[in-house]
Amino acid sequence: MQYERPSSLKDAIGLLAKAKGNAFVLAGGSDLLARMKSGHVEPDLVVDIKSVKGLGEIRKTASGFAIGAAVPCAAMGESTALKKAWPGVVEAANLIGCKQVQGRCTIAGNLCNASPAADSVPALVAAGAKAVIAGPGKKRTIAVEKVVTAPGRTSLGKGEIVVAITLDKRPSRSGDAYLRFIPRTEMDIAVVSAGVNLTLDQKGRVKSARVALGAVAPTVLLVKPAAKAIIGTKLDEAALEKLVQACSVACRPIDDKRGTVDFRKKVSGVLAKRAARIAYKRAGGK
């Protein structure tokens, strides 16, 4: 295995573009090194992007936030502005693994690892986050939900790197939340998870919403009928019941070591309902 630590994005892309064999980007490494240890991957090349200028920063931009691909999730929790604007996204990032893992892992890495159970992804999808992708061709920006195509697979081309995740500026009366179900209280992979992001109108009714579910399908699901169920409502019981139903219907889960089909179908709705209530409250709803 070859280890490279380029200091420019151009060099990083160049190394990945011309690599023969298995090439991997090393951002936080919390997935990559664990997979190397278990023998699931045997890289020929690892490109460490932590020394690439700018990738280790959270930037406040005119349109919102840009979170560099090498920013550890722990640093997101230390950013007061980010936490205030996107509490659900930060919560999700700070649920990954444990404190030690959060000192390393990144949301870009969490996304590109392409696990259906990735903690930060449903929150990002609900938030309408975008991935900024650099590569041998033109820089492009796509919706986060377009990055992962199947478990372990992404739409990234050879030599392409997700360099940042961007989050929009918040309209007033907005809130987001992320909840996951794990059998323990920490140190677990989501059995099922839900992210909800919403904005209220002046009367406290949900004006717009996005609901995303994790670990219930090959990729994170953006569940439009679930959002529709709460739009125009103040999250009354009937609306929440519709949300629950929409989530359960949208799930296409499997039985595995972490949970059953039945369990995931039921609990996805429960979590979406609870996350919606939290987001609603954060948006100032009563």
Partner 1 sequence: MNFDARYAAQSFKSVGTRPIRPDGVDKVTGRARYGADFNMPGQLVGCILRSPHAHAKIEKIDTSKAEKLKGVKAVITATDLPDLTNGDAAMYDILDNCMARGKALYDGHAVAAVAAIDARTARQALKLIKVRYKVLPHVTDVDEAVKPSAPLVQNDVFTAGVDPRPTKPSNIARRSQYGHGDVDAGFGKADIIVECSYRTEQTHQGYIEPHACVASVNSDGTAELWVCTQGHFVFRQHCAGLLGLDVSKLRVTSSEIGGGFGGKTHVWIEPVALALSRKAGRPVKLVMSREEVFRASGPTSATSIDVRIGARSDGTITAALATLRYSCGPYDGMWAEIGAMTAFACYDLENVRSVGQEVLVNRPKTAAYRAPSAPMAAFAVESAIDELAGKVGMDPVALRIKNAAKEGTRSSYGPVYGPIGIGPTLEAVQKHPHMNAPLGRNQGRGMACGFWFNFGGQTCTDLNIGVDGTVTLAVGTVDVGGSRASLSLVAAEELGIPYEQVKAVIADTSTLGYNDMTDGSRGTFSSSMATISAARNAIAVMKERAARMWDIPVKDVDWEDGHARARGKKHGNLPPLSVKDIAAAAPKTGGPIAGHSELVADGAGVSFATHICDVEIDPETGATKVLRYTVVQDAGKAVHPDYVEGQYQGGAAQGIGWALNEEYIYGEDGRLQNPGFLDYRIPVCSDLPMIDTQILEIPNPNHPYGVRGVGETSIVPPLAAIANAVSNAVGVRMTHIPMSPPRILAALDGKKAG
Partner 2 sequence: MSAIAVSTTINGDDTEFLCQAEETLLDVLRDRLGLTGSKEGCGTGDCGACSVIVDDRLVCSCLVLGAEAEGRRIETIEGMANGEDLHPLQSKFLEHAALQCGVCTPGFLIAARDLLEKNPNPTEEEIRFGLAGNLCRCTGYDKIVRAVQDAARVMKGS
In the block, residue with structure tokens 């595995």: 256
From partner 1, partner 2, none, interface partner of 103 (C-beta below 5 to 8 A by class): partner 2
CA dihedral of residues 75, 81, 83, 86 (deg, nearest 10) = -120
In the chain, where does DSSP find H-type helix? 9-17, 32-37, 73-77, 80-85, 87-93, 99-102, 107-112, 120-127, 224-230, 237-250, 261-282
* 102/197 with CB nearer partner 2: 102
Give the dihedral sign, CA 249/254/258/260: positive
Tokens standing for 104? 């390393």
What x/- string results for residues 184 through 223 when contact with partner 1 is judged by CB under 8 A? Answer: xxxxxx-x--------------------------------
- Of 103, 204, 218, 225, which one interacts with partner 2 (CB under 8 A)? 103
Near partner 1 by CB under 8 A, which window of 115-123, 159-167, 182-190, 227-235? 182-190
Total number of residues that touch partner 2 (CB under 8 A) = 29
Percentages helix, strand, coil for the chain, rounded to the nearest 5?
35, 25, 40
From partner 1, partner 2, none, interface partner of 181 (C-beta below 5 to 8 A by class): partner 1
- What 3-state DSSP class applies to 53? coil
Residue 98 CB, nearest distance to partner 1 (Å)?
8
100 binds partner 2 (CB under 8 A): yes
Nearer to partner 2, 33 or 249 (CB): 33
For residue 181, state whether it binds partner 1 (rule: CB under 8 A): yes
202 binds partner 2 (CB under 8 A): no
Assess contact for 105 and 97: CB atoms under 8 A: yes
Residue span 67-96 as binding mask against partner 2, x where in contact by CB under 8 A, dash where not: -----x-x----------------------
- 37 binds partner 1 per the rule CB under 8 A: yes
d(CA 254, CA 250): 13
Instruction: Figure out which of the listed residues 235, 258, 276, 282 binds partner 1, where binding follows CB under 8 A.
Output: 258
Closest to 278 (Cα-Cα) out of 189, 180, 171: 180
Q: Which residues bind partner 1 (CB under 8 A)?
A: 37-38, 98, 181, 183-189, 191, 256-260, 262-263, 266-267, 270
